[in-house]
Chains A and B, each alone.
Chain A
Amino acid sequence: MPRSYISGLFGTSPISPLQQHMAKVQATVTELLPFFKAALAEDWEKAESMQQLIATRENEADALKRELRLKLPHGLFMPVSRRDLLEVLTMQDRIANKAKDIAGLMLGRKMQFPEAMHASLLDFVNRCSDATAQAQTAINELDELVATGFGGNEVDLVESMIHKLDTIESDTDDIQVAVRAILFKMEKELPPVDVMFMYRILDWIGDLADLAQRVGSRLELMLAR
Chain B
Amino acid sequence: MMEFGITFIILACVFGLFMAWGVGANDVANAMATSVGSKALTIKQAIIIAAVFEFLGAFLAGGQVTATIRKGMIDADLMAGSPELLIYGMLAALLAAGIWLLIASRAGWPVSTTHSIVGAIVGFAAVGLGIEAVQWAKVGTIVMSWVISPVTSGAIAFFLFLSVQKLIFNTDNPLANARRYVPLYIFLVGFIVSLVTLFKGLKHIGLELTTLQSYLVAVVIGAIIMMIGIYFIRQLKFDPAADREYHFTNVEKVFGILMMATACAMAFAHGSNDVANAVGPLAAVVSIVQNDGEVTQRSMMAPWILLLGGIGIVAGLMMYGHKVIATVGQGITELTPSRGFAATLAAATTVVVASGTGLPISTTHTLVGAVLGVGMARGIAAVNMGVVRTIFMSWIVTLPAGAILAIFFFFMFKGIFGG
Q: Which residues on A are within 8 Å of B, measured CB to CB?
A: 1-15, 73, 75-80, 143-144, 146-154
Contact = CB atoms under 8 A, between A and B. Distances in A.
Contacts of A153: 170-172
Contacts of A147: 169, 248, 336, 338-339, 379
A14 B381 contact: yes
Pick the 8 closest A-B CB pairs, nearest first.
A152-B170, A7-B331, A13-B381, A79-B378, A11-B382, A6-B33, A5-B110, A2-B324
Contacts of B338: 147
Interface stretch (B142-150, B182-190, B233-241, B383-391): B383-391
Interface stretch (B48-56, B57-65, B364-372): B364-372
22 contacts: A3-B328, A4-B325, A4-B327, A5-B110, A6-B368, A6-B371, A7-B37, A8-B387, A9-B384, A9-B391, A10-B37, A10-B334, A10-B335, A13-B382, A77-B380, A77-B383, A146-B379, A146-B381, A148-B165, A149-B165, A150-B378, A152-B165
B379 A8 contact: no
A14 B339 CA distance: 17
A5 B165 contact: no
A150 B165 CA distance: 9
A2 B331 CA distance: 11
A152 B247 contact: no
B165 A7 contact: no
A13 B170 contact: no
Given A2-B320, A2-B323, A13 B385 contact: no
A76 B383 contact: yes
Contacts of B320: 2
A143 B110 contact: no
Nearest to A157: B247
Contacts of A12: 333-334, 382
A105 to B, nearest CB: 37
Contacts of A11: 334, 381-384
B29 A4 contact: yes
Interface residues of B, number: 52
A149 B385 CA distance: 19
B33 A7 contact: yes
A151 B381 contact: no
A3 B331 contact: yes
B327 A2 contact: yes
Given A6-B368, A143-B246, A149 B381 contact: no
B108 interface: yes
A225 to B, nearest CB: 8
Nearest to B33: A6
B165 A10 contact: no
A152 B390 CA distance: 35
B169 A154 contact: yes
Contacts of A148: 165, 169-170
B103 interface: no
A4 to B, nearest CB: 4
Contacts of A143: 246, 381
Contact of A77 (B324, B367, B385): B385
A129 B339 CA distance: 36
Nearest to B371: A9
A26 B391 CA distance: 42
Given A75-B385, A77-B384, A149-B169, 19 more contacts: A3-B108, A3-B331, A5-B364, A7-B327, A7-B332, A10-B332, A13-B382, A14-B381, A75-B384, A75-B386, A78-B383, A80-B378, A143-B381, A146-B379, A147-B248, A147-B379, A149-B377, A150-B378, A151-B170
